[in-house]
Amino acid sequence: MKVLIIRFSSIGDIVLTTPIIRCVRLQLDAEVHVLTKRSFASLLEVNPHVETVHTISDSLDPVLTRLKTEEFDLVIDLHKNLRSWQVRRSLRCPSLTFGKLNFQKWLLTGLKIDRLPRKHLVDRYFDALAPLGVINDGEGLDFFVSDEDRVDPQQWVRGPFVAVALGAAHSTKQMPVDLLVSILEEVRLPVLLLGGPGDVQMGQAVMSHFNRPAIVNLAGQLTLGGSADVIRQSAVVLTPDTGLMHIAAAFDKPIVSVWGNTVPAFGMYPYLTAGDIRERRFEVMDLSCRPCSKIGFEKCPKGHFRCMRDQPAEEISRTLADFASIHE
């Protein structure tokens, strides 16, 4: 059986497809191909359950020509937008997709009426695969680090450390600098700050509040795989709702997640293996404006950003310390 799985973006969403990739590959003895955006191909290129990663950039036409020659038996569409529909229509083979619950998400963000199922997105993916007889193996998420991306965090710090994800796709998901500073002031373990090139200034702003060598800004210095390898070796991960949170879950790390304008009820909280209790989510629960978006904004629509600014910094710090002690 030859299967094409579609998920164009983004980091976290692609990581959340990895249980589907693994179970389709192993339970159906299928040859699994994946279609994604070129900028995210590295997330799957070293995945041993993926035969080929096909990529798109601006136009679908070049990749559609190649995909037609593959003669797939089945398409599993885990993106479900106009582009993925065009792929399914063009390949003319059986396909499966899933319910995105866009109306229910609109009810929650627009009218604050919660009709969302209490089910993780990964489990909703598996519901869509029921006709194939594919079931969840309970092994959680996958993330594979290439040999080229492996790093030794001990070149920057000694002993157990906290990995901190700085950035997010939208500013209203990010922890503001003053909140991060308040949290890290009470953290006694070394800290490695992680992020992409766009997070360098944020990391520098955090660093400017400290005069100790055990906080290191690695934003913009590592590949995504390198950041993932730092997370793999950390004692605990502090993160907003972002891709690195899901990578931390793939490594079954203790996770302290801080939620701004989005909510775990959307079904994209850390997906950890059964029985793992090393996770704590912090939300400001009494805000009538939250969630304001299922994705995020460049700035708070209300101007106050209370979903982040009212977070309990001291309690977050204590939780980090408690989780780090498990590692020690």
What mean pLDDT comes out for the span 246-268?
97
pLDDT of residue 182: 97
In sequence order, what are the beta bridge partners of 216? 192
Q: Which residues contact 186 (CB under 8 A, 6 or more apart)?
A: 313, 314, 317, 318, 321
Q: In sequence order, what E strands does the chain have? A: 2-6, 31-37, 52-56, 74-77, 95-96, 162-165, 191-194, 215-217, 236-240, 255-258, 279-282
For 320, the token pair is 């980090």
pLDDT higher than 90, residue 274: no
Question: Could you give all domains of the chain from N- to C-terminal order, each with its CATH number?
Answer: 2-132 (3.40.50.2000), 147-327 (3.40.50.2000)
What mean pLDDT comes out for the span 235-252?
97
Q: Which residues contact 325 (CB under 8 A, 6 or more apart)?
A: none
pLDDT of residue 273: 84
Q: Quick one: pLDDT band at residue 169, thresholds 50, 70, 90?
A: confident
**DSSP secondary structure code for residue 133 in this structure:** T
Cβ atoms of 325 and 316 within 8 Å: the answer is: no
- Over residues 176-222, the pLDDT tens digits come to 999 999 999 999 999 999 999 999 999 999 999 998 888 999 999 99
Q: Quick one: pLDDT band at residue 325, thresholds 50, 70, 90?
A: confident
pLDDT of residue 277: 73
pLDDT of residue 90: 97
